[in-house]
C-alpha cells in the first residue's frame, strides 16, 4: 500500500489510516510518502508488518535515500526522484 499525504489531511492520513491498514491483515507493507516542502524535503515512512509484532515496524527514509520494499523483491523508491507539484 502506498499513500501520498496531502496538506489538508496529513493528520488523518498518518494517524487514522495506519490503524485501519494494520487491521487489514493482507497488507504487508504500508508506505506513507510526505512530499511537503515545509518538511524540508520528501520523506518516506515505511511501515512493515514483521512477525511477532502487534503493530507496524516503522522506518523513516530521508530525502536522497532509497527504500527497498520488504515484501516485493526488486521494488525500490528513490526519494531524490520525488517532487511536490
What range defines the domain where residue 15 resides?
2-81
Please say whether the beta carbons of 59 and 13 come within 8 A: no
More confident residue, 10 or 50: 50
How many Cα atoms sit within 13 Å of 62 on the Cβ side? 2
Nearest to 67 by CA among 50, 56, 85, 82: 82
Q: What is the pLDDT of residue 14?
A: 77
Residue 46: pLDDT band (50, 70, 90) is very high
Give the count of domains, the chain: 1
What is the DSSP track for 15-66?
IIHHHHHHHSTT--EEEEEE--GGGSS-EEEEEE--TT-SS-EEEEE-TT-E
Amino acid at each position: 500500500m502506498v499513500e501520498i499525504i496531502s496538506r489538508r489531511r496529513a493528520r488523518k492520513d498518518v494517524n487514522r489510516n495506519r490503524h485501519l491498514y494494520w487491521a487489514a491483515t493482507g497488507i504487508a507493507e504500508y508506505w506513507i510518502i510526505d512530499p511537503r516542502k515545509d518538511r524540508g524535503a520528501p520523506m518516506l515512512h515505511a511501515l512493515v508488518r514483521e512477525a511477532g509484532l502487534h503493530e507496524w515496524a516503522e522506518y523513516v527514509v530521508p530525502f536522497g535515500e532509497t527504500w527497498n520494499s520488504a515484501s516485493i523483491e526488486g521494488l525500490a523508491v528513490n526519494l531524490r526522484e520525488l517532487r511536490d507539484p
